[in-house]
Amino acid sequence: MRILYLVRHGESEWNEQGRIQGYLDSGLTELGREQARYVGLELAKHPIQFAATSSAVRAFDTCSIALGCFESPVPVEKTDSLREIRLGVWEGVKAADLKKDSPDQVDLWFHRPSKVRIEGGETLRAFRRRIAREMERLRAEHARETAVVFTHGGVICSYLTSLLGMKLDDLWRFKIRNGSITKILFPLGKPRIELLGDIHHLNGAVRPPGQSGIPGFSFMNTGSDQE
């Protein structure tokens, strides 16, 4: 791809409730749908030639609403491979409850996430391998196009660590909020980040920070300080 836009889905119902989502799903809130429309109005200014989306409802609906703002249809590929990390027994749990019941695990998750093993979950290494493989496939198949991928906070963070040669435990160095746009250029095949988690196009359609009780848990889509 010559230019790649990465979009995190709009606010979901579990984001609003402060629940850990991971691979599980919930629909968009009204705020999430509004964010998706603003994403579409922004992306429609650019020559998008191809779109891919996670098969999760919150990402697919964001994609559908956003691309509905375009004058001409854009080809879309829907795939399970772009879904969020599997978080096993953590999924569906309120972030505040997890912090209270498993403080050591939560602390390790933020400082050394590669060391955390969640029952029924996916390791961070396996997750990054899945995401990197899928993104490289899309880039190879659409090498001359400008594309947009609608996905999840963890997917975007993990892909950036892979793309930039960072460590697994560097996952938390990025702030990716609901409805944000990250823009990557590939001059001579080398990645260059032009926008990172940008939300200016949302025109203030964001939820106030700090409502889920655990900063940073937007990686698992709980609606925290990163929305």
User: Strand 50-54 and strand 3-8: pairing?
Assistant: unpaired
Distance (Å, whole) CA 39 – CA 41: 6
Half-sphere exposure of 44 (CA within 13 A, CB side): 18
List Cβ neighbours of 211 (8 Å cut-off, separation of 6 or more).
18, 223, 224
- Residue 203, phi-psi category: left (phi > 0), alpha (psi -120 to 50), beta (remainder): left
* Calpha distance 223→168 (Å, rounded): 23
Q: Which one from 84, 91, 134, 227 is the annotated catalytic residue?
A: 84
To the query of whether residue 84 is one of the catalytic residues in this protein, the response is yes
Would you please indicate which residues are annotated as catalytic (active-site) residues? 9, 84
